[in-house]
Structure 1
């Protein structure tokens, strides 16, 4: 049976992975919708064919810059849609923009969008991006602090532990995170904790929500439900039901 929405995705290695989470290609065989979980990242998408919307806002051609994802978003798509994208790390796009990297320049994005019209899969898209994928330049040390802080959150450290291991004052780090990620360190930590809870729910659909809440650092199930719904826009219980219904 053909999937209504197929996705090819690849995570860059080396220097590129410091700024870019993934390159991806999506193709649909029918109209539909899915919910995209928040990852605090941003992106650039290139719509080759069909129609697509994010939270009922149409994705524009020739390209559309997607702002930082602070909550789960509804993605709706038409039959035979083809969409290519670059997904940046939470601070990736703003750091590249500060360095005037080719991927943030309007003329280059317009050029890529023209090449996308000839792309039919992820490999074609990677070839189109190749001239713009040089990331071997010196980085600002502040960008390194931001990246290290985000990595600690991804590795399930608490917000306070991640802050304590950063050689900046809390106020300095908060200012830099807000500038580069568009959100506070506290909000960033909330997103990563909810993503940890999502993984826990997927791994064991029989585990109680109370147990998952405590394992992920929430004080009780009520706190867990409020935080999860604030980021995902659905409750943990509904998220589990959605997972089970797909099995």
Structure 2
């Protein structure tokens, strides 16, 4: 992993955190590429300067929406590229669109992009985004049950237990999550199980993959490797090496 990219990230607090999990700003010091971790969520990216590609598809100004993340994605950028983005929580984007929330209105997104062209940094970007979240623009609770189910899965609650905690039937929840996110609750469970394994590899660099597999709910080590590679596009061993390289070079690792 190289130090091609400088990344700043802010995790929102308060009411805005119900909709947004992260607001970020990036600047490329050199031409390069990074892998973005899979989280089952959606987002919007604002290319400010330079060239930017996501999975080899060019992202053009003023902005580009990211559909539900179901696997790791490759981000390619030119030297001195500047770009930033909003990362929504799972299930939130359809609700924002349904309620005509100003943060997803074309006029709002174009206004944000125009301001960023004039002056771009994380602080200014955060202020711009927050200005569209006021008391008059609260989300309704249409997706509260599917959101609660996914929250349980994020906290690594077994899927069957998460279903039992919800007031709706399993079939209703499956339909809601599929409609809102494009993937099933089962797929979310796979995503967050891999996420747990990533965290275990990061926190316990010497722990065996066989032990990590058992602790994180995989059948065995081959199951861990298969799922990790399917969702992260990298093996657990390669991920561990990337972590060590990033630590040695004191650089940021986006695939985290």
Give the TM-score of the pair, scaled to structure 1: 0.95
Provide the rounded CA distance (Å) in 1 between the counterparts of 2:207 and 2:245. 17
Provide the rounded CA distance (Å) in 1 between the counterparts of 2:137 and 2:95. 12
The answer (yes or no) to whether the contact 1:15–1:135 under 8 Å persists in 2 is no
**How many residues are paired up?**
246
The answer (yes or no) to whether the contact 1:19–1:91 under 8 Å persists in 2 is no
Cα drift, residue 199 of structure 1: 0.4
- In structure 2, list runs of 5 or more residues that go unmatched: 248-256
Give the TM-score of the pair, scaled to structure 2: 0.91
The answer (yes or no) to whether the contact 1:43–1:66 under 8 Å persists in 2 is yes
Provide the rounded CA distance (Å) in 2 between the counterparts of 1:106 and 1:153. 32
Structure-2 residue corresponding to 1:171: 171
CA gap of 1:169–1:194, structure 2 versus 1, over 3 A, is same
The answer (yes or no) to whether the contact 2:10–2:23 under 8 Å persists in 1 is yes
CA RMSD of aligned residues (A): 1.5
Q: Give every structure 1 segment of 4 or more consecutive aligned residues whose post-TM-superposition deviation is greater than 6 Å.
A: none
Structure-2 residue corresponding to 1:196: 196
Residue 8 of structure 2: SS of its match in structure 1? strand
Structure-2 residue corresponding to 1:93: 93
The answer (yes or no) to whether the contact 1:116–1:128 under 8 Å persists in 2 is no
CA gap of 1:110–1:121, structure 2 versus 1, over 3 A, is same
CA gap of 1:197–1:116, structure 2 versus 1, over 3 A, is same
Structure-2 residue corresponding to 1:240: 240
Provide the rounded CA distance (Å) in 1 between the counterparts of 2:171 and 2:119. 45
> Which aligned pairs between 1:109-148 and structure 2 lie closer than 5 A?
109-134=109-134, 137=137, 139-148=139-148
- In structure 1, list runs of 5 or more residues that go unmatched: none
Provide the rounded CA distance (Å) in 2 between the counterparts of 1:24 and 1:197. 24
CA gap of 1:135–1:120, structure 2 versus 1, over 3 A, is same
